[in-house]
Chain A
Amino acid sequence: MQTLPPQLITARPLLAARNLTRRYGSIVAVDDVSLVVYSGETLGIVGESGSGKSTVLRLLNLEEPADEGQVTLNVPGYGDTNLFSLERFQRRQVQIRHIGIVYQNPHQGLRMRVTSSGNVAERLILAGERRYATLREAARDSLAVSEFPLERMDDLPAKLSGGMQQRVQLAKAIALKPALLLLDEPTTGLDVSVQALVLDTLMRLQRERQIATIVVSHDLGVIRTLADRVMVMRRGRVVEQGLTDQVLDDPQHPYTQQLVHAKL
C-alpha cells in the first residue's frame, strides 16, 4: 500500500531535494531523484557501483551542479533558496558552515601534508576564525568528539591508520557543527574490528547531536546499523524507499529482493 504524508512529524525537513538529474555526456548518472531528511534521522542510500548513489551525495554537498532539480536546506537565511541558484561564494559558505562530509578515500577529504589538527582547523579558518588558540582548542575538541587519540593530533594523516584517518575526516566534517552530515562509504576498506569502532562513534554522534545524516554504502550491515530509513538506487533512479528493516526484510521491488538475497 502507498504510504501517507507525515502526520506526527510536523517539522520541516532539514534537507529537501527535488527531481535531481545529473548527466555526464549521454550518461544519466542521476535521474529524477527526490528525497527529504529530517534533523536527527539518518537516511541510507544503497545500490551497486554505478547506481548514482555517490553522485547524489556530491550534488547534495554542492560539489557540482545538478542539470535539473533543486536542493533546499532549512538553515537560517537560506530556508527557501534553491542552493544551486546561489553564486559560487555563497554556495561555498553554505557548504562550509552547514554541510560536513566524510569520503571513503581519506585522500579526497584530507590534505596529507598538513597535520591532523591543521586539517580540522582549516575548516574553522575558512569560516573566518583567525586566533591560533581558538583554532587549536576547537580542533582538539572536535578530534576528541570523534574519539581520535589526541596525543597524535599533530601527526600527518599519512602516518595514521585507516581508522584514524576516518576519525580526522569526521572531526573536520563536524568542526562547525553542521546541520547535515554526508558519509560516503565511511567504513569501507577498514578492518572489521576498526569498522565496528568507527560505527560506534558515528552512532554516538547521531544520538548526541540532532544532525541530519545521509550514509551511502553498499554494505547492508552498515546501513542496518546506522540508518532509520533507506533508499535503493539503480541506474540513477530510486527504485524503492522505506524503513530500513522493512526494505531489508520485506523488499518490494524485484531489484531490492535480488540485492538483499545476494548478501552472504
Chain B
Amino acid sequence: MTLLEVHSLAKTFHIHHLQREVPAFANVSFTLRAGEFLLVRGPNGIGKSTLLRCLYRTYLPSGGSAMYESRQGVIDLARAADVDIAQLRRTEIGNVSQFLRPRPRVSALDMVAEPLLAGNTAIDESRRMAGDWLADFGLKSDIWQAYPTTFSGGEQQKVNLARALIAPRRLLLLDEPTASLDAGARAALVSRLAQLKNQGVAMIGVFHHPEDVAKLVDGELQLRVH
C-alpha cells in the first residue's frame, strides 16, 4: 500500500533582512510504501535534512505536494492545516532528530515516557516501557531519574531516540539518528528499526554512515544540485 506520494516538492528560504532567496531543493518526487525504508543521499548542504523537515512541516514547503495516506484519508502534508499536522504528529508521523531538547527538572525516564502519556497510556506502564527502551540503548539505570540537561551528547541522544520511537508511528523521519552514538547503541537502534519496519512502519532517513542501515534500505533518493 502506498503511504506517501511526493510530487515536485520544493523549498526556498526567503531571508528578508538580506533580501535574498536561498533555494534548498526543488523538484523532489518519490513514492513510499508501508514497511519501506528510503535512504536520502547527497553531499552536505544539498537539503537532505531540509527535505525531512518539510515533510514534518517544521519547514513550510514552497511548492509541490506530499500526499499522505492517513488512517482518516489522504492529506497533503505540504498544505494541510496546522491542527491536522499536529494531530498526525501525535498519532502517525514521528520525527527522530539529532538532538534532544532537554527540559529542566524533567527526568530522563519521564522525557521518554511523555509521548505514551500523551496517548493516554497509564503512568506506570509508560515508565516501564520507557525503562525498556533506555535499557535497550544502554543508558545505565542509575541515571534514569537524573535530568538529561547534565548528560553527555551520547547519553542525551539515547534519551532522544527512546523518546522518538516509543509511541507507535506509521511513518518515521530519521535525521542522522546514529550521530554521537556508541557501537552498542547503534546496533540496538538498527535492530529496533528493523523490528518496526517488519511491523509495516515506513521510514525516510538521512545517515552520515549509510552502512549502519544498509540491510534496511529498500530504495535511495539522490538529491542533486539543481
Contacts and interface: CB of A to CB of B under 8 A. Distances in A.
A207 B117 contact: yes
Contacts of A229: 82-83, 86
Nearest to B54: A250
Interface stretch (A3-11, A55-63, A65-73, A122-130): A3-11
Given A1-B63, A2-B79, A6-B81, A250 B86 contact: no
A258 interface: yes
B84 A6 contact: yes
Given A246-B59, A250-B58, A254-B17, A9 B104 contact: no
B224 interface: no
B4 to A, nearest CB: 16
B78 interface: yes
A204 B62 CA distance: 36
Given A250-B13, A257-B17, A41 B60 contact: no
Interface stretch (A17-25, A135-143, A157-165, A193-201): A193-201
Contacts of B58: 243, 245-246, 249-250
A228 interface: yes
B215 interface: no
A8 B75 CA distance: 8
B16 interface: yes
Interface string B83-100: 111111000000000000
Given A8-B84, A38-B83, A200-B103, 8 more contacts: A7-B73, A8-B70, A8-B83, A200-B105, A246-B59, A254-B17, A257-B16, A258-B16
Contact residues on B (Cβ < 8 Å of other chain), bracket: 35 or more
Interface of B: 13-17, 53, 57-63, 70, 72-73, 75-76, 78-88, 103-106, 117-118
A225 interface: yes
Contacts of A192: 104
18 contacts: A1-B60, A1-B78, A1-B79, A4-B76, A6-B81, A6-B83, A7-B84, A8-B70, A8-B84, A9-B83, A193-B104, A196-B105, A197-B105, A228-B86, A241-B82, A243-B58, A250-B53, A254-B16
Contacts of A6: 81, 83-84
A225 B75 contact: no
A125 B95 CA distance: 47
Contact of B106 (A2, A200, A246, A258): A200
A172 to B, nearest CB: 24
Given A1-B62, A246-B59, A250-B58, A41 B75 contact: no
A242 interface: yes
A134 interface: no
A90 interface: no
Nearest to A257: B16
B81 A252 contact: no
Contacts of A225: 103
A24 B58 CA distance: 38
B82 A242 contact: yes
A86 to B, nearest CB: 28
A228 to B, nearest CB: 5
Interface in A218-264: 225, 228-229, 241-243, 245-246, 249-250, 252-254, 257-258
A7 B103 CA distance: 33
Nearest to A248: B58
Given A1-B79, A3-B79, A228-B86, A246 B60 contact: yes
B146 to A, nearest CB: 15
Nearest to B74: A7
